[in-house]
Amino acid sequence: MSLPHTRRQRPSLRRRLLVFLVIPMAALLLLDALLTYGVALTYANRVHDRDLSDDAVTLAKMLGNDQLGSQLTPQARFLLEYDPDGRSYFSITSARRGLLGGNGQLPQLGYTPALGAVPTLYDTQLDKHSLRAASIHIAARHDPGDSLVITVAETLRDRHVQAREILLLATLMQTLLILSLLSLVWFGVSRGLRVLDPLTARLAARSHELTPIDGPDVPQEIQPLTRTIDALFGRLRSMLALHDRFIADAAHQLRTPLTGLSLHVDRALADPRPETVTDALAHIQRLTQRAARTSSQLLALTRAQAAPLDNVERGPLDLGRMIPEAVAQRIHEAIRAGVDLGYEGLRQPLYIDGDAASVLDLLDNLIDNAMRYAGRGSTVTVNLQAHADGGAVLSVEDNGPGVPPELLPRLRERFFRAADSGEEGSGLGLAIVQRIAERHHAEVIYRLGEEHGLSVEVRFPPAISPATGPG
């Protein structure tokens, strides 16, 4: 039994913005609560310390106005025992007679305060309870030789209760303020995102157009996205144009051999004599080979017209090893064609940045073009030299009939063939060379040979990638 497919929730820009706002605000609210509690506790301590000092002073005045015996007056005792929870403590100690009243266990200050000074505040402990105490030292009224130390103390509970009440009120107000602010942010984000509506409408109104979508109404924050989309549209337009050009070129180049095939098939069917059929089959074979070569050339041209090589395709290539090996593989073919094919140039490493398959296609097309148009009995020489700037110069020269000087600039055009060349071809070989060279940021130079023939020179820029030999 298969489980139902759970649809993943799409990311929301509005929800993402709110999350990025809520989390920092919650952290700030927590930090503010801690700071508020600290401030409230400090304020409560100051108020209670002042009240505690006032109680000690008031008790000292009451004792100074009454005749002190072994018992406190009812008014003084009422003042000290007002707390029904029993969290207030006091003690009255005589310098001569000791404890006169209060809690005997209440810890005293480690020293006697100055006589007649303001109350001294200090922290102490009683039965594991933290206390805050105030002590004052006064002279006994009816006994000039005696003095009294009056201590009033209380627990810290009321201070913390008051600080928590202040914190609760402040937190409630700040929470309401943050919620109101988030509501305003939600409203603002919702309204602000409406600026994308014209862009959305413009995209929805298009059918098959790949024109740029960036415009003056696109916000600055969205421009990186629209520019990326425009770049993608540009690459798609180039690919579609390349596709259309390939179809047009294929239709243009394959129409002639296909028409010839049809004519020779009809001729063989109309005249079944062996010599007619043999001649028709020979023409059919030649036209088939021409169509196959044209198709291969068209595919090679399409690959060569792709975008420039990126960092993934580029790599260090040792032309000093690769070019002689590639020429050696064409020797047997050149012998069958009656062409003297040779190599002259460097044998030591010479590196460029590029794609090995593309560079070999370039060399093959140069050799094919030279062998085809130079003809039997000709000489084709492949040369490789290092350039003064650190790059490489690859050249292929033949001693064939060559081309008129005024036609040299047109050799890089697609489907161009000299009118008096006498050889069948697609006119794509040198166009492929030109496109591959452009992808490698290389320069192609066409010139006439020293005596006659054609020389094609390709100048590659110096290598940037680390030059490493074969592993």
- 12: tokens are 């929301």
pTM of the predicted structure, to 2 decimals: 0.45
Does residue 5 or residue 243 have the better pLDDT? Answer: 243
Assigned CATH for 15-164: 3.30.450
Report the topology of domain 229-302: Helix Hairpins (1.10.287)
State residue 369's pLDDT score.
85
Task: Inform me whether the pLDDT recorded for 44 exceeds 80.
Answer: yes
Give the up-direction half-sphere exposure of residue 189: CA atoms within 13 A in the CB hemisphere.
Answer: 16
Task: Inform me whether the pLDDT recorded for 70 exceeds 80.
Answer: no
> Across all residues in the chain, what is the average pLDDT?
78
User: 152 Cβ partners below 8 Å, 6+ apart?
Assistant: 52, 55, 56, 59, 80, 88, 89, 90, 133, 134
Which residues sit opposite 92 in a β-bridge?
Answer: 101, 150
Q: What is the pLDDT of residues 402-417, one digit of tens each?
A: 788 787 777 766 655 5
Does residue 7 or residue 45 have the better pLDDT? Answer: 45
Task: Inform me whether the pLDDT recorded for 79 exceeds 80.
Answer: no
Assigned CATH for 312-460: 3.30.565.10
Task: Inform me whether the pLDDT recorded for 271 exceeds 60.
Answer: yes
Tell me the one-letter amino acid at 141: R
State residue 383's pLDDT score.
92
Sequence ranges of the chain with CATH classification 1.10.287.130: 229-302
Question: For 309, which DSSP code?
Answer: P
- 346: tokens are 């460097």
User: 471 Cβ partners below 8 Å, 6+ apart?
Assistant: none
State residue 247's pLDDT score.
63
Please, are residues 307 and 235 in contact by the beta-carbon 8 Å criterion? yes
Task: Inform me whether the pLDDT recorded for 85 exceeds 60.
Answer: no
Lowest mean pLDDT among 74-83, 102-111, 261-270, 354-363: 74-83
Sorting pLDDT into bands at 50, 70 and 90, what band is 290? Answer: low
The closest alpha carbon to 42, from 159, 157, 123, belongs to: 159
Q: What is the mean pLDDT of residues 250-277?
A: 75
Q: What is the mean pLDDT of residues 37-46?
A: 89
State residue 470's pLDDT score.
44
Question: For 205, which DSSP code?
Answer: T
DSSP, residue by residue, 80-133: HT--TTS-EEEEEEETTTEEEEE-TTSPPPSSPPPBTPPPEEEEEEETTEEEEE
Sequence ranges of the chain with CATH classification 3.30.450: 15-164
Distances, alpha carbon 435 to alpha carbons 244, 304, 306, in Å = 17, 5, 9
Q: What is the pLDDT of residues 176-209, one digit of tens each?
A: 888 888 788 778 777 777 777 777 777 777 666 6
The side-by-side arrangement of strands in the sheet containing 340-345 is 340-345, 379-386, 392-398, 454-460, 443-448
Sorting pLDDT into bands at 50, 70 and 90, what band is 216? Answer: confident
State residue 250's pLDDT score.
59
Task: Inform me whether the pLDDT recorded for 249 exceeds 70.
Answer: no
Q: How far apart are CA 132 and CA 145, in angstroms?
A: 30
Sequence ranges of the chain with CATH classification 3.30.565.10: 312-460
